[in-house]
Amino acid sequence: MTRQTRSQPTGTPAPTHTAVPTHTAVPTHTAVPTHTAAPTHTAAPTHTAAPTDTTARTGTSEPVAALARPAGTFAMVAMDQRDSLRTMMAEHTGTPRDDIGDARMTAFKLSVARALGPYASALLIDRRYGFRELLDQRILPGTCAPVLAVDTLTQEPGGPVTDTALDPAVNPAAAATAGVRALKLLVIWRRDRHRDSRVATAARFVELCRAAGLASVLEPVARPTPEEEADGSFRLNDAIVEAAAELAPLRPSLYKCQVPDGGAGTVSGLAAEAARIDAVVDVPWVVLSQGVDPAAFPRAVEAACRAGASGFLAGRALWTSALGAADPEAALHGPCAERLRALGEIVDRHGRPWWDARPAGTRRGGDTA
């Protein structure tokens, strides 16, 4: 597939992200409890972040630039799992779920941030488990942008997320003041009677981010209806494309979606399926790792990038192996960090720079939204 890309001016160094301020009021209306932080380690070498003001590079200034690597691609860590993380920790450690306390979950999230932050262009976290500590302790380097999840989750203990809503306790303007660079909304997409309300919620989310000067990361996850599950008619790849055609026209700063075929198959086969996503998404897009074998994730990322994706925002494929490790800290700073570093090389080699996608606020044909 041949693409026309805009040339990138050379010779202008890319500044790092603005340092996150300390002791700034929590960008929510609900106090977040403080937990004991995990032990610190010497930070690994970092790359230089892409500038937030990209006028010199692209003729525009886009909030999404704060989440990108210098090449215009994305290598981002997701650490916003809530009850799902509690279940995973129980399964990998043999500890009963009820014994996995909030403090233990928070400590693991902060350990991930310390170990992987130096290699990530952004890190996503939820406000309940570790967000306040992440900012107050200035854990992330200036090259890793904080992203805040603003979704409330409907989820039975030990089960999957079945629905989401916008968290009314999050104040986007206050989050921006605190140093957050983007907000993320998960949407559980189904072919059911709630499709219109989900689109309306996603549209409101994108507009709230735009008004606050923040990048919007919209994450639809396609799931079958009970009827589709019963009769076996659900086809993941078709649902991913249908969801993208329905929600990407809302023009989020970044569209995050599932990998076709769960990442199983060849690079060429996966890329052919991912090209169907690219055909209906006019904004920069990235893939997630849920449902993908961690060993297959690098191949899945390469395939998606060859089809037009700009990188990934992933959690499980990066840090799951540390959950049951004899020394989780050593696993995070060793194999997990190396995995993220290698994935960063893949997205830089094969990914589409975000500035080669249409800027948020425009549509096909150049019309302004």
Give the mean model confidence (pLDDT) for residues 329-348: 98
Structure confidence by residue, pLDDT tens digits, 13-57: 333 444 434 333 434 433 333 333 333 333 443 333 444 444 444
Residue 221: domain span? 60-356
Classify residue 3: in a domain, yes or no: no
Q: 53 in a domain, yes or no?
A: no
**Is 263 or 4 the better-scoring residue by pLDDT?**
263
Q: Examine the residue annotation and report whether 256 is marked as an active-site residue of this protein.
A: yes
For the residues 198-218, what does the mean pLDDT come to?
98
Number of structural domains, the chain?
A: 1
3-state SS record for 151-180: EEEEECCCCCEEEEEECCCECHHHHHHHCC
C-beta of residue 347 within 8 angstroms of C-beta of residue 74: yes
Say if 291 falls within a structural domain.
yes
What is the model's pLDDT at position 37? 37
Is residue 22 assigned to a domain?
no
Rounded mean pLDDT of 226-231? 97
Question: What span, in angstroms and rounded, lies between the C-alpha atoms of 315 and 94?
Answer: 21
End-to-end CA distance of the chain: 27
Name the pLDDT band for 223 (thresholds 50, 70, 90).
very high
Look at residue 193 and tell me if it is in a domain.
Answer: yes
- At 358 the pLDDT is 61
Q: What is the mean pLDDT of residues 153-182?
A: 95
Q: For residue 313, is pLDDT > 70?
A: yes
CATH number at residue 241: 3.20.20.70
Q: What is the pLDDT of residue 248?
A: 98
DSSP classification of residue 219: E
Q: What is the pTM of this model?
A: 0.84
pLDDT digits (tens, 9 = 90+) for 197-207: 999 999 999 99
Tell me whether residue 251 is in a domain: yes
| Residue in 147, 139, 142, 148 with CA at minimum distance from that of residue 122 | 147
Residue 34 is assigned to a structural domain of this protein: no
Rounded Cα gap, residues 333 and 7, in angstroms:
36
User: In the predicted model, what is the mean pLDDT of residues 309-324?
Assistant: 97
SS3 assignment, position 235: coil
| Structural domain contains residue 249 | yes
List residues bridging with 186 in a β-sheet.
219
Go through the chain and tell me how many residues it has: 369
Catalytic option among 256, 299, 306, 333: 256
